[in-house]
Structure 1
């Protein structure tokens, strides 16, 4: 196992504090410092793991500070902001509209609803170039007032329909 300098140790601890995996840290060390460090040596710098339980107090302090700063800085990450996510979904919906992608527009609308905390579900099938068609919609028999049919449970399923559909 290679001996790591203090600067490299701090870089490893900070990366692990920001939830980078040991494999990602290993690649970073190879790219930035041209070091081949085994994953089990990297894990020893994460005090939240069994292997890292003996991490020095100074590196533990670096880890704790980096983790706190990372977690407190979530709002500075654009995609974590609801408005930013809605803006991205709006751009996707507009692109889908321009391309005539009806399914894409519906997926974007569903995503926007989930972002806002809604629970909209797609209850219709979409034809590729035609209107939205709703299946399993109740049909009102001929000669029956629709409001009266709803109140009297006289609706028929499409399978039981009058045969003129």
Structure 2
């Protein structure tokens, strides 16, 4: 097990605090610092796991602050932004269209429409315009149907199917 410098330890703790997996963090450390680590060693820097029970108080505090900041501010995550999602959809749409993939084009157009229409949010408007009560249209129209008319409609529907 390699002895790590403080800057490497901080990078590991911060990445784990942002919910990166030990495998992902090990790969990041390899790319950034040129150090090959086992994912078990990386997992030892996560105080929420049993393997991180001996983590120093300083690194625990860094983990806690980083996790708190990460959870509080999603604006730094591109996919959390509608403009980014639409841009990716546009790129994929152009690629699918250039390849003649009509089914994918239709799917992407539908997804973009849902994105713009707010289908992927939890927001529900329970009031009318400007906070006024919802307008309810009165539909007190009663249509009497005779048993013969009902039988005729049922038979015509059955004949179609």
Q: Larger deviation: 75-84 or 3-12?
A: 75-84
Q: Which runs of 5+ in 2 are unaligned?
A: 121-148
Quickly say closer, same or farther: Cα 1:108–1:157, change in 2 above 3 A.
Answer: farther
Equivalent residue for 1:11? 11
TM, length-normalised to structure 1 = 0.62
Supply the RMSD in Å over aligned alpha carbons.
Answer: 2.9
Equivalent residue for 1:117? 119
User: Which structure shows the higher helix fraction?
Assistant: 2
2:71 maps to 1:71: yes
2:153 maps to 1:152: yes
The Cα shift of 1:108 comes to: 1.1
The Cα shift of 1:107 comes to: 0.8
The whole-number CA distance in structure 2 between the counterparts of 1:58 and 1:19 is: 19
The Cα shift of 1:156 comes to: 5.1
Equivalent residue for 1:89? 89
The whole-number CA distance in structure 1 between the counterparts of 2:107 and 2:19 is: 30
Deviations 1:62-86 (A, max 9, x none): 0011112222231232221234323
Quickly say closer, same or farther: Cα 1:48–1:108, change in 2 above 3 A.
Answer: same
Count of aligned residue pairs for this structure pair: 129
Q: How does 1:19-38 map to 2 (within 5 A)?
A: 19-38=19-38
Q: Larger deviation: 59-68 or 23-32?
A: 23-32
TM, length-normalised to structure 2 = 0.64
